[in-house]
Structure 1
């Protein structure tokens, strides 16, 4: 965000100070939201407190005409409310850590919202001790934690902000950094880094066709010993202002790689066939390979069944309305939408298509660590298999 430059009106300054004094967000967050430097906002708050105490702008006019005793009682009540709010927040942030260093760290973090004198009094520590602590050189542990924070932020932002602490920890290990998962979890919580969360609702594209009795050859075992032996597939749709964009995928159960995909403004059988054609180009399909899907009418159609038979692939389907029977394909669509597509509003199908390709080919297949692969990428697993096969 481009920062605003002064001069600032009195009304703007008053509103900015009110947001700090009335809320519980850090000054840096409010300053970023308003497009000003956090030091500037901190100076405004400090100047206001020096002149008016802790009252927010506009509050002093309400006390006009009252006696000195009433004004004093109001200030005392306000100070008590401020103390209670601070101690309540301190209880959440300290989480049972009663060390003096932890309290100093909290005071340092909140010094823009309360005076150091008040906070030292509320937390029963000395001001001289706090200032002496601040003047000390950072310990080796503190320096390492700051380095870890920088690396965690780099990993989190570099992977679409989709990684939770487990994947961040796995990526740190891949970089040769030795750290416990709980330390990563704690640092991410302190940095406010929260991975994308699942959506509450998923549209349904399955319309069962009871005329076709196709067995379930997979039975929820979404693993394979070699690429090209077992595939899963599904169809989802992405809303745009032009209408839905339908996406069909084919995923290899050995490498978890999306080896085939196709998109169109419909989800008729040719869409599914196009995804299978791409899979046949990207991976060598073995004899008697299996393709597993849900029991949608297009997947159970005679045309698609003939396509698989011509490719030498056996067809397998799960039960109607039981998402766990095709959980691997469902899981990919959940990741695609929650980690990436839900951030956008697409005006055209072409724009949605570009973002789908960016996620599949630029991130999921080649960069995203997969927990089912021991936190390796699908491309790494495929390359390892091909290397072993070539040297065998």
Structure 2
């Protein structure tokens, strides 16, 4: 048969028992690792973060190759629609914007930002989360969750952050012009702890972009994927998202692809 077809015996037997190439074996291994990282992080990571993890693990792989493998596997990060601000016709008194979109810091407890977002439950309807972020570490350092959106909710979130962080110097706290933050009760508390209060300009959510980004991630990666039965179910899910995932496991490109907790720990060690 080999003589008839003018094919060498070695080529014939090689075709009958093909040996998988090293490149093919490596591709399969990398795809398995990419899929593992993707699933370990609850399908929340896209190619850039998966690529960074692979590099940290000692792999030699380009971002484009990770993107191609993810496409082959049919996987991608959860995507949310870009936040579109809308102008309100309600008359709001302008307050001083001290931050002026300068989110730069040299260490922790210099600049904090805070805001409130809405979370729906089947039995208890709308519930409200007030969050406080340290701009240096991007860590959520304080939060409060309740069925009512009032002054106390906003104050509790800041109070939790203050008691947790125990800042030894004056902090700039930035918020929007919501009634909870412009109330006399909130102002009294801010004065009591000797913070400087900075406010976003009217109709400018980009002035508070970092905390807006956190709430967007929370909705994209957790809230919009499930339906909460009641307040307690939502509260537990938010606690797990912030404490177990966002602060301690989720890497952030803005702080060099480390977690907020790692960033805070590094700042405390260098202090």
| Structure-1-length-normalised TM-score | 0.62
Q: Please give the alpha-carbon distance, in whole angstroms, between the structure 1 residues aligned to 2:33 and 2:206.
A: 36
Residue 227 (1) aligns with residue 108 (2): yes
Residue 239 (1) aligns with residue 120 (2): yes
Q: Please give the alpha-carbon distance, in whole angstroms, between the structure 1 residues aligned to 2:154 and 2:89.
A: 15
Instruction: Name the residue aligned to 1:177.
Output: 59
Summarize deviations over 1:287-312 as a string: whole Å, max 9, x none: 33100011111111111111111111
Q: Please give the alpha-carbon distance, in whole angstroms, between the structure 1 residues aligned to 2:220 and 2:136.
A: 24
Query: Does structure 1 retain, via aligned residues, the 8 Å contact 2:85–2:205?
Result: no
Q: Please give the alpha-carbon distance, in whole angstroms, between the structure 2 residues aligned to 1:269 and 1:147.
A: 54
Larger Rg: 1
Instruction: Name the residue aligned to 1:372.
Output: 254
SS in 2 for 1:298: helix
Deviation at 1:178, TM superposition (A): 2.0
Instruction: Name the residue aligned to 1:296.
Output: 178
SS in 2 for 1:234: strand
Query: Does structure 2 retain, via aligned residues, the 8 Å contact 1:209–1:300?
Result: no
Q: Please give the alpha-carbon distance, in whole angstroms, between the structure 2 residues aligned to 1:323 and 1:152.
A: 35
Change (3 A) 1:174 1:236: same
Whose helix fraction is larger, Structure 1's or Structure 2's? Answer: 1
Summarize deviations over 1:113-138 as a string: whole Å, max 9, x none: xxxxxxxxxxxxxxxx9xx7795222
Residue 214 (1) aligns with residue 62 (2): no
Deviation at 1:167, TM superposition (A): 0.6
Instruction: Name the residue aligned to 2:142.
Output: 260
Residue 156 (1) aligns with residue 66 (2): no
SS in 2 for 1:299: helix
Q: Please give the alpha-carbon distance, in whole angstroms, between the structure 1 residues aligned to 2:221 and 2:66.
A: 20
Which of 315, 325, 337 pairs up with 2:219? 337
Change (3 A) 1:315 1:175: same
5+ long unaligned stretches in structure 2: 1-10
Query: Does structure 1 retain, via aligned residues, the 8 Å contact 2:139–2:260?
Result: yes
Instruction: Name the residue aligned to 1:112.
Output: none
Which of 56, 59, 74 pairs up with 1:192? 74
Instruction: Name the residue aligned to 2:202.
Output: 320
Change (3 A) 1:134 1:330: farther
Deviation at 1:179, TM superposition (A): 1.1
Q: CA RMSD in A?
A: 2.1
Q: Which structure 2 residues correspond to residues 300-311 of structure 1 after superposition, within 5 A? A: 300-311=182-193
5+ long unaligned stretches in structure 1: 1-128
Instruction: Name the residue aligned to 2:3.
Output: none
Summarize deviations over 1:188-220 as a string: whole Å, max 9, x none: 11101111111467899x996624x42111111
Summarize deviations over 1:33-74 as a string: whole Å, max 9, x none: xxxxxxxxxxxxxxxxxxxxxxxxxxxxxxxxxxxxxxxxxx
SS in 2 for 1:277: helix
Q: Which structure 2 residues correspond to residues 351-370 of structure 1 after superposition, within 5 A? A: 351-370=233-252
Query: Does structure 2 retain, via aligned residues, the 8 Å contact 1:208–1:320?
Result: no
Q: Whose relative contact order is higher, 1 or 2, with alpha carbons under 8 Å and at least 6 apart?
A: 2
Query: Does structure 1 retain, via aligned residues, the 8 Å contact 2:95–2:201?
Result: no
Counting matched residue pairs gives: 257
Bigger mean CA deviation after superposition, 239-248 or 192-201: 192-201
Q: Please give the alpha-carbon distance, in whole angstroms, between the structure 2 residues aligned to 1:220 and 1:292.
A: 10
